[in-house]
Structures are given as structure tokens and as C-alpha cells.
Structure 1
Amino acid sequence: MATGTEPHPDSRGVHTPTRAAISARHLRTDRWWLAPAGTAAGLLAFVVYSTWRAFADAHYYSAPYVSPFYSPCLAERCQTMHSGPNADLFGGWWALSPAIIILIFPLGFRMTCYYYRKAYYRGFWASPPACAVAEPHASYSGETRFPLILQNLHRYFFYAAILVAGVLTYDTVLSFRDAHHHWGHMGLGTVLFVANVALIWAYTLSCHSCRHIVGGKLKHFSRHPVRYRAWRFVGKLNARHMLLAWASLVSVGVTDFYVYLLSSGAFDDPRFF
């Protein structure tokens, strides 16, 4: 005769012998799965698109715009070699797409970002899929083992992300020049570049690591008024970290796709002056 205390046959997660013998995995009646499903769909769509563009190795420059996926262009074979910004650090031996050289840094920054960890842990690994819904895994080791221990590299990726944001700011300034390098140009692409770099900076500065770097290890804010003001500013951005993460993800994709359309000859850049 059942006593109500027998362990679930699965004996994992919430069904371990030390937990109450409740047969249901959760008691939520709402559509809790919509949020992780939507997150997974959005991230998967961006992964598919960015992978295609990174390996396309074409249509990433249309004067004066260079795709944020390919900037800075570090290989000799870059299409922007004689007409746009590049550093040519890799010479002629690099045979793969120039985007692969640089994308590892913003990708590493986003993959180790606290919000994106939550997003793909829930969306893809169901760890856990939602509040009050137990994860299906038998054990939990957190981020103490390989490969998740690599999440601790987030602060170092933040430093690289600052440099990338600086390069994108330089590209944005150059977007105010025309194809003949004359200043005073402003097209629809310029507007997109300005919006994108603003969102990139906002997302980068809203990072938890940035907040700690700016205001961490201080015992008395009153003795460090400049850092205190900076910490409060970053804290306000940090409160919108999720929104900025998605907005900057969309903006960088839209900006890249716009450059692709211009470079492939789909239409000409509408100019305001």
C-alpha cells in the first residue's frame, strides 16, 4: 500500500527521496513555456543569421559603411583594403572569412554575459526553464566545471568588448563621409550606424562587470565622488540590461543586413544631405 512518501521512479531533481512526493513536475497553470521558447527562437534566429554572414565572406562593405560583423577587418584580403578601415594584421596567410577573426570577442562577451547565460540556460538547457518549474537534470554543478567554468572569462571579454565598441564608434564617424571621403554625408545607413553604436555602448556599459569595475572595492563612496556618479549611471543602465541586450542584438543584425543590401546592389543608400 502506498504511503505517499515513496520516491518518484525517476528519482531526479524534485523527485529525489528527500523531497515531498508530488507527482507533478510543477503546479503552474499559465503558459510559462512561452518565455523560454521565445528566447530560444530569438537567439537561434540570430545564431543562424550571424553564422551565415560570418562565413559568407562577401558584401560587407559599401562606401562609407563597413559591416559591424567585419570590423575591424584584420586580414590582407579584406574588401575594404583600399577604400575603408582595416588593420591588416594577419597578412595574406589568413584564408577564412575576416569576420571570424573579430567576432570571437563580441560573441564571447555576449555568451558569458549574465543575462545571456540566463537566456540560453532556460531557453536551450531548461536549467530551469521558468520560475517554480524544476529543471530535469539529475545533478547541478553550477559553473564550477568545464565548459561552464569558462563563464568566469566574462570580465576579460568585457575589456575586448570596449575595444570593439571603440572601433564601431570610429566606423560610425566615417559614415558621415561619402564614397569620395568628403565630410558632410548623411544617409539612412548613417542613422542606423549611430543608433547601433549607441545601443552597443549602452549594452556594454550596462554589464555587471562594468558596474563592479566602476564602483567595486570601495568602502566609502563619499571619498570617490566621480566613481560614485559613474557607478550610479552604470547602475541605471544595468537595470535595463535585458532590454539593452536584445535591442543591441537586433540593431547589430539590422545594420549588418543593411550593409549587405547596399553592397549586393539591392538599392542605393537614401541620402539626407
Structure 2
Amino acid sequence: MTTTHATPGQHHSATSVDEAAADALEVARASSIKSVYVYEAPIRAWHWINALAITVLAISGYFIGSPLPTQPGEASANFLMGYIRFAHFAAGYLLAVGLLGRIYWAFVGNHHARELFWVPIFQRAYWHDLLGMLKWYAFLSDRPGRFVGHNPLARFAMVFGFVGLTLFMIITGFALYGEGSQMGSWQERLFGWVIPLMGQSQDVHTWHHLGLWGLVIFVILHVYAAIREDIMGRSSVVSTMISGHRTFKD
């Protein structure tokens, strides 16, 4: 039995072939990634500022609804709840102004900027695609459909969930703020009708507080879906809100 040993030159040649094959595979993979510019800079800035505002609103709102224990010492030396309320009011104004800016950009931005405010409910294809995404999220299908902007289910959730809930929180929040700013303030003039409509001030407080938990649930589902799509859907979601580009991997 004869044993053949590879010479150093042959071994180096085999290694070079392996590296070349690996390089070719990487090139093939790179060419299969398709990138589309979706979200413009103002949209991405609004998204992250909105995320920060909602985080501050949720934390401060929780403590406003369930205040901290009484602090020792003179009241003048303890303004912690005052700072919490100020953070809540400031974040509320940021949320409201940001939404107005987002509405403006829906008119001047690209067509993806308008997806946040309407859904094509009269198009049969839309409901077919929405059902497909429901199956995908329920682990009943192997691959999701490919959508450059929001997928149909995300679009439905954003319009009827996030935007609707955000408007409700802004309206009820300014109605409650109008009580503190008193009669004649612009907050009271624009939103004072909300309190008698809903019954009384405490009713508005209760619904506003419940809206907080609605937003928390929405954010949890939103983050889960975004990370899930990045991993399983083979299309970028999280990084798209940083770069603006949606990438698809074959």
C-alpha cells in the first residue's frame, strides 16, 4: 500500500482554492442582498424621538398615577413629583408637536410616509396580503410576503392602533392639562369639552391611565415583530429605521 503525501506547495494550492471558493460564496451572497431606500431622514428622526417621548411618558405617567411615598422634611425641599410631572408634560408636548410634523411630512415626503395614516381597505389584494401576514406571525407559513414599506398587518396596526391611541392620549392629556392651566387657556378652550363628554375629571384620568398600558402593550408587540422580521423574515427592520434602507436577503 502506497501512501502519497502532499507537498507543501500542493497544500498551499489547496488552501488557496478553498479561500477562493469561500470568497466566491461571499460575493454570491452579497449580490443576493437587495436594498431599497424607504424611510427619509425626518421619518427616522421622528421615530426615535417618538420612542424617547413615549418612554418618558410611560415612566412618569406611571408614577403620577401611583405617586411615590411622602418624602421627609419640608415640602419646599422636595420637588421630586414636580420634576416627574414636568417631564411628563414636556414629553407630552414633544409627542403632540412630533405628530403634527409627521402629518406634514405625509404630504411632502415619499409615498411610504403616507402609509402611517391610511390603509387600502377597499382593495381585495390588501386583505389577502394581510391574511398572509397573519399566517406568518402565527407560524402557519414558511416565508412572509416581501413589502418595501410597512407590511399590511403592520400598517393596519399602526393606523388603527398606534395613531388612534396616540391621538386619544394627546386629546385626553391636554384636557387634563387644561384643568391645571385653568379657564381661558388654549388647552382648556380646545380640549375642555372632553371632560364633560367622558363624565368627569376622574373618568378622563382613568381612561388616560388605561391608554398608557395600551401603548406599553403596543410597543412590546412592535419591538417583538421588528426583531422577529430581522431574524426570520430575512429583511431588515430595525436597521432600516437607522439607515433608511430596507434590505432583502434571498
- TM-score tier by shorter-chain length is 0.3 to 0.5
Work out which of the two has the higher radius of gyration on C-alpha atoms and give 1 or 2. 2
**TM-score when normalising by structure 1:** 0.42
**TM-score when normalising by structure 2:** 0.46
Q: Which has the higher contact order (CA 8 A, sep 6+)?
A: 2
